[in-house]
Amino acid sequence: MKITKTELRKLIREAVEELDNAPAPRSPKVSPDVEKINIRLDQISGFDQLLAKLNTSEEFEQFLRKVIRSSSENVKHKDILLAVSNVEKALRKELE
């Protein structure tokens, strides 16, 4: 199954919205740091074209691993696993 850049962005945005709307014990709103990252990602020229090149599950997994490693210096491993688990649950609900 090939995932297009449009589908990927849609899934990510829907997952973020669903997590934002779900009652969470931590933070009901998007944090300012996450908002800054979202704005910067939208401003990166050619980012969508680069994402469109990811067309296998292996490539997508490698990309996610890189993103997680890059952003996890100040996040505990347990919290990373919880976040990934929450995103997985949200995505599974969307696909049902």
Q: Tell me which of 19 and 49 has the higher pLDDT.
A: 49
Average pLDDT rounded to a whole number, residues 68-84: 87
pLDDT at 28 over 60: no
To the question of pTM greater than 0.85 for the whole model, the response is: no
For residue 87, the one-letter residue type is V
Q: Taking 70 as the threshold, does the pLDDT of residue 86 lie above it?
A: yes
End-to-end CA distance of the chain: 16
Query: What single letter denotes the amino acid at residue 58?
Result: E
